[in-house]
Each structure stands twice: as C-alpha cells, then as structure tokens.
Amino acid sequence: MQEILEGVWWIRRPMVNVYVVQTHEGLWLVDAGTPWDAKALLAALRSLGVERGDLRAILLTHGDFDHVGSAAHLRDTLHAPIWVHPADAEAVAGRAPIRRRVVGGLATRLSIALSSRLVHAPPVEPDRTLADGEVLAEGCLHVIHTPGHTDGHVCFFDERRCLLFGGDVVRTSRRRMYRPPFVLADADAQRQTLRKLATLKFDRAVFGHGPPILNDADHLLRAELTALEP
C-alpha cells in the first residue's frame, strides 16, 4: 500500500487497484477488488488503524467482479455499508448480469465469455444507492454517473484534492490514458462520459487499472477524447 497523496492510499492488487481516501467524515474505500483480495485488503486497512465500524462506506465504481469481489467479506468483517449506482445494484446483488458488449476479435470474445461464466463475485445486497451529483463528504467525493463501461458506472471527484477516482472509464500507462479495451456496455455512452469528464478540472486521477496520474490528468483525458472523436 502506498500513500500517493496526503490522505489517499493506493492498494495495488494483481488484477485491480483499490483506494482508501480520508475526509473529515472518516475513511472510505473505493472499490473492493477481486474475491481473492479480501485478506490483503483487510491487512492494508488494519495497517491504517481501521477496525469494525470505522469505514464510512465501501464505494463501488461499478459492478464488475474485480471491483466488487471482496465487498461482502469486508462488509461482514468491518461492518462497512456498500454503496453503488442503482443501474449496477441488481448485478452486485446477483440478480441480473451486467449488460456488456465485447470489442475485439474472436479470441478476445471467447476469452471474456469463458471468464464471465467461470468467475463471479459473491453476491451482496447494497446498503444504499448513489445518485448523480450527490456529495458524500464536504468538499470531497462528488458522485458523477459515467455510463459506458457499465450502465451504472460512477466516478468520484475529490474537489479539495483536485482528484478523480475514475474506476474503469479509462486505463492508464505511465503518461497516457486509453479507453478500457474489450468490454463496454454502450460505446456511445462511453464517448458522452468522456465529454462530460473533459469539462472538469482535475490535475490528478486514479483508475482501476494502471498507475495513478498525478499531474495534467485532465489534459490527458481530453487527448484521449480527441483520439476517439470521429
């Protein structure tokens, strides 16, 4: 675990990134990793002094198994409520699949279809749903509905730190953002989401896959949007 900004910790797991953010209201967990990450996530949280009842909430950017996988275990262990956008809530609860379209060749489509059948997160009933535009903490954690990757994908904007928690809106390499490969619920919605985020000012951004971008993040996102525009 690495503190990448004051009060923001990056928990880097083999398949996905998870984040802890501190606000005046307490500590929040952004996403919950895969089903195999529970032990490591608990160890990281306990190294910050987190005990049962200390987490304000587990905030899910969306309902994919690599972001939801340890949510049920963490809620049971830490008594932390799970919050997600209503469009992905049924998938998180195990009552409906996530709508998606695979972008890529035959091998890619077969690989993703197989993994979708074999790998599932333990279903868990969300404790509450998130609404576009609501503010979860004073000056921090504005909820932005950002459909495209999934119908219920959200980002969290920390206005005080000028930081975007971007989930799977894009992925990152060292100095580049690029759209999530292979899987989208709605390509047109994804472009609209990038246009929406391009209106924000955020110097820093962190995502579910790839390293943090800690300067000029909004410029990099606008460059990605330009590359996608017809």
CATH of domain 2-228: 3.60.15.10
Selection from 143, 168, 145 nearest residue 65 by Cα: 168
Segment 175-193 shows an average pLDDT of 77
Segment 167-184 shows an average pLDDT of 76
165: how many CB neighbours lie within 10 A of its CB? Answer: 27
Segment of 38-52, 103-117, 132-146, 161-175 carrying the highest mean pLDDT: 38-52
What is the chain's length? 230
Split at pLDDT 50, 70, 90, the class of 215 is very high
* Residue 39 DSSP SS3: helix
pTM, two decimal places: 0.92
Segment 18-39 shows an average pLDDT of 97
Question: Could you tell me which residue, 230 or 109, shows the higher pLDDT?
Answer: 230
Can you spell out the DSSP letters for 107-174?
A: HHHHHHHHHHHH--PPP---SEE--TT-EEETTEEEEEE--SSSTT-EEEEETTTTEEE-TTS-EE-S
199: how many CB neighbours lie within 10 A of its CB? Answer: 8
What is the per-residue pLDDT across 78-110, written as a single tens digit (0 to 9) for each? 999 999 999 999 999 999 988 776 555 544 445
Selection from 82, 80, 78 nearest residue 91 by Cα: 82
What proportion of the chain, given as a percentage, has pLDDT over 90?
Answer: 73
- Element of type H or E holding 20: strand 17-23
